[in-house]
Amino acid sequence: MTDSRRALLLGRRDDSSALLVALERDFAAMLTASEASNADDEHDPEGATIAFERAQLDASIADLRRQIGQIDAALVRIDEGSFGLCTVCGMPIPGARLEVRPEATTCVNHAPG
């Protein structure tokens, strides 16, 4: 069972890492482009500002880094033998919850609201 969970987690980590690399590349390109431009995007009636797009991309990057950290922590729990146990009550996390969120650290009763 933990072998399949490890494989699922590693697959998710690979996917998240690839997306993170792409978004970081896009973010760097956006910064470079904005440094070379003197556009006044604060008054552009055509849509979102460059600053808004940059903040949105930065938030996506931060979220991916958080996800990768959670996946890494789940892999450590597999190695330690504590994977699938609620960190609050110590009871097993239901398999259905781990299917959806294999990085989950709590049972449904103790999941953050």
> What are the chain's domains?
2-38+48-110 (1.20.120.910)
8 Å CB contact between 83 and 28? no
Confidence band for 109, pLDDT divided at 50, 70 and 90: very high
Measured CA to CA, the distance from residue 76 to residue 54 in angstroms comes to 33
Model pTM score: 0.82
Query: How does pLDDT run across 71-84, given as a tens digit for each residue?
Result: 999 999 999 999 99
**Cα 94 from chain centre:** 22
- Which pLDDT does position 49 carry in this prediction? 75
